[in-house]
Structure 1
Amino acid sequence: MQRIETRGLVLERKAVLILLYACTIFLSAFLLFQVQPIVGKMLLPWFGGSAAVWSTCLLFFQVVLLLGYLYAHWTQRFLAPKQQGLLHILLLASSLFVLPITLNAAWKPSGSEDPSLMIVGLMALMIGLPYFLLSSTGPLLQAWFAREKSGTVPYRLFALSNFGSLLGLLSYPLVFEPNLSIPDISGAWSAAYVAFVLLCGVLAWRGLRMQRPAEVQAHAGEPGAQEHVPPKMMALWVALAACPTILLMAITSHLTQNVAPVPFLWVLPLVLYLLSFILCFEGGNWYKRTWYLPLFIVWLGVMTYDLLETIDDSGVWLPLVLYSSGLFIACMLCHGELAKKKPHPAHLTSFYLMIALGGALGGSFVALAAPRIFNSNLELPLTAIMTGLLVVTVIKREADKAAENSTEDGGSNRWHRAWLTLCACFVAVITVFATHGIVKHAERYALMVRNFYGTMSTADSWDGSERKLVHGSILHGSQYMSEDKRREPTTYYGDNGGAGLAVLATRQAGQPQRVGVVGLGAGTMASYGRAGDYYRFYEINPLVVELARSQFSFLSDTPAKVETAMGDARLSLERENPQRFDALVVDAFSGDSIPVHLLTREAFAVYFRHMKPGGILAVHISNRNLDLAPVVKHAVDYYRKEARLVDADPDYGRGLSGSSWILISDDAAVLESEALYDHVEEVELERNIPPWTDDYSSIYTILK
Structure 2
Amino acid sequence: MSASRFLYGTTIFLSAFLLFVVEPMAAKELLPALGGSSAVWITCLVFFQLALLLGYLYAHWLTHQPSARTQRLIHLAALACAVVAVVLTLRFRMNLNNGASHPVTTIFTALTLGIGLPFLLLGSTSPLLQIWMARTEGGNVPYRLFALSNAGSLLALILYPTLIEPSLTLHHQRTAWSIGFALFAILGALLAYRFSTANPAAQPTQTTIEAIPPTSLQIRVLWFLLPMAAAMQLSAVTSHLTRNIAAIPLLWTMPLAVYLLTFILAFEFSSFYRRGIVVRFLVLMLASLGYALSRIDASLPIGIGILFFLAEVFVACLFCHAEVHALRPARPSEATLFYLLIAAGGVAGTFFVAIASPLLFVADYDLAIAFFLTALLALIVTWSDGWPQRLLWSTGTGLLFALLLMLHIVLARQTLLEVRNFYGALRVKQTDMPAQTLPTRMLLNGTIRHGTQMFAPGLSRIPTSYYAEDSGIGLALTNCCADAPRRIGIVGLGVGTLAAYGRPGDQIRFYEINPLVRPIAENLFTYLRDSAAQTTFADGDARTSLAREAPQHFNVLAVDAFTGDAIPLHLLTTQAMQLYRIHLAPGGILAFHVSNQYLDLAPEIAQLAAASNMEARSVDSPDDDSRGEYRATWVLVTANQQFLALPNIASRTEPISPVPGLHLWTDDYSSLLPILRWAHR
| TM-score (norm: length of structure 1) | 0.91
Distance change >3 Å, CA 103–CA 301, structure 1 → 2 = farther
What amino acid sits opposite 2:418 in the alignment? M
Tell me what 2:603 maps to: 630
1:107 alignment partner, one of 91, 95, 107: 95
State the SS of the aligned residue for 2:415. Answer: coil
Tell me what 1:354 maps to: 341
Which one is further off, 615-624 or 458-467?
458-467
1:538–1:564: 8 Å Cα contact kept in structure 2?
yes
**Does 2:198 align with 1:199?**
no
Tell me what 1:53 maps to: 40
Q: CA deviation at 1:374?
A: 1.4
Tell me what 1:292 maps to: 278
Deviations 1:5-53 (A, max 9, x none): xxxxxxxxx8111111111111111111111111111111111101110
1:103–1:126: 8 Å Cα contact kept in structure 2?
no
Q: CA deviation at 1:130?
A: 0.1
1:150–1:219: 8 Å Cα contact kept in structure 2?
no
1:93 alignment partner, one of 80, 95, 108: 80
1:539–1:568: 8 Å Cα contact kept in structure 2?
yes
State the SS of the aligned residue for 1:500. Answer: helix
> Counterparts of 1:544 and 1:306 in 2: how far apart (Å)?
29
Tell me what 1:447 maps to: 417
Tell me what 1:152 maps to: 140
> Counterparts of 1:673 and 1:332 in 2: how far apart (Å)?
61
> Counterparts of 1:558 and 1:484 in 2: how far apart (Å)?
15
Distance change >3 Å, CA 312–CA 439, structure 1 → 2 = closer
State the SS of the aligned residue for 1:99. Answer: helix
**Does 2:473 align with 1:485?**
no
Distance change >3 Å, CA 267–CA 225, structure 1 → 2 = farther
Distance change >3 Å, CA 36–CA 311, structure 1 → 2 = farther
Tell me what 2:448 maps to: 474
Matched ranges for 1:221-260 at <5 A: 221-222=207-208, 226-257=212-243, 259-260=246-247
Which one is further off, 480-489 or 161-170?
480-489
Aligned-CA RMSD value: 2.3
Tell me what 2:620 maps to: 647
Distance change >3 Å, CA 86–CA 226, structure 1 → 2 = farther
State the SS of the aligned residue for 1:646. Answer: strand
2:379–2:389: 8 Å Cα contact kept in structure 1?
no
2:499–2:508: 8 Å Cα contact kept in structure 1?
yes
Unaligned runs of 5+ in 1: 1-13, 401-416
What amino acid sits opposite 1:189 in the alignment? W
Matched ranges for 1:264-303 at <5 A: 264-303=250-289
1:499–1:585: 8 Å Cα contact kept in structure 2?
yes
Largest Rg, 1 or 2 = 1
Distance change >3 Å, CA 430–CA 115, structure 1 → 2 = closer
1:261–1:594: 8 Å Cα contact kept in structure 2?
no
Distance change >3 Å, CA 149–CA 111, structure 1 → 2 = closer
State the SS of the aligned residue for 1:446. Answer: strand
2:147–2:263: 8 Å Cα contact kept in structure 1?
yes
2:563–2:596: 8 Å Cα contact kept in structure 1?
no
Q: CA deviation at 1:495?
A: 0.8
> Counterparts of 2:205 and 2:420 in 1: how far apart (Å)?
52
- Alignment length, in residue pairs? 670
State the SS of the aligned residue for 2:444. Answer: strand
> Counterparts of 1:112 and 1:171 in 2: how far apart (Å)?
30
> Counterparts of 1:178 and 1:453 in 2: how far apart (Å)?
27
1:620–1:661: 8 Å Cα contact kept in structure 2?
yes
Which one is further off, 316-325 or 418-427?
418-427
> Counterparts of 2:375 and 2:274 in 1: how far apart (Å)?
15
State the SS of the aligned residue for 2:600. Answer: coil
> Counterparts of 2:396 and 2:116 in 1: how far apart (Å)?
44
What amino acid sits opposite 1:508 in the alignment? A
State the SS of the aligned residue for 1:285. Answer: helix
1:339 alignment partner, one of 325, 328, 348: 325
Distance change >3 Å, CA 349–CA 381, structure 1 → 2 = same
Identity of aligned residues (%): 40
State the SS of the aligned residue for 1:681. Answer: coil
1:518–1:539: 8 Å Cα contact kept in structure 2?
yes
1:531 alignment partner, one of 504, 512, 516: 504
What amino acid sits opposite 1:121 in the alignment? T
2:138–2:203: 8 Å Cα contact kept in structure 1?
no
1:71 alignment partner, one of 39, 47, 58: 58
Q: CA deviation at 1:314?
A: 5.9
2:405 alignment partner, one of 424, 435, 447: 435
1:308–1:441: 8 Å Cα contact kept in structure 2?
no
Deviations 1:151-195 (A, max 9, x none): 234111111111111112112122211211111111111101100
2:54–2:120: 8 Å Cα contact kept in structure 1?
yes
2:506–2:534: 8 Å Cα contact kept in structure 1?
yes
Tell me what 1:584 maps to: 557
1:260–1:592: 8 Å Cα contact kept in structure 2?
yes
**Does 2:323 align with 1:317?**
no
1:630–1:687: 8 Å Cα contact kept in structure 2?
no
2:136–2:199: 8 Å Cα contact kept in structure 1?
no
| TM-score (norm: length of structure 2) | 0.94
Matched ranges for 1:676-687 at <5 A: 676-685=649-658
Q: CA deviation at 1:528?
A: 1.0
1:220–1:226: 8 Å Cα contact kept in structure 2?
no
Q: CA deviation at 1:365?
A: 1.1
2:563–2:595: 8 Å Cα contact kept in structure 1?
no
**Does 2:168 align with 1:180?**
yes
Distance change >3 Å, CA 112–CA 265, structure 1 → 2 = closer
1:82–1:211: 8 Å Cα contact kept in structure 2?
no
Q: CA deviation at 1:436?
A: 2.2
Deviations 1:243-284 (A, max 9, x none): 01011111112223354574x323221111111111111144
> Counterparts of 1:234 and 1:284 in 2: how far apart (Å)?
20
1:445–1:459: 8 Å Cα contact kept in structure 2?
yes
Unaligned runs of 5+ in 2: none
What amino acid sits opposite 1:141 in the alignment? L
Tell me what 2:528 maps to: 555
> Counterparts of 2:519 and 2:584 in 1: how far apart (Å)?
28
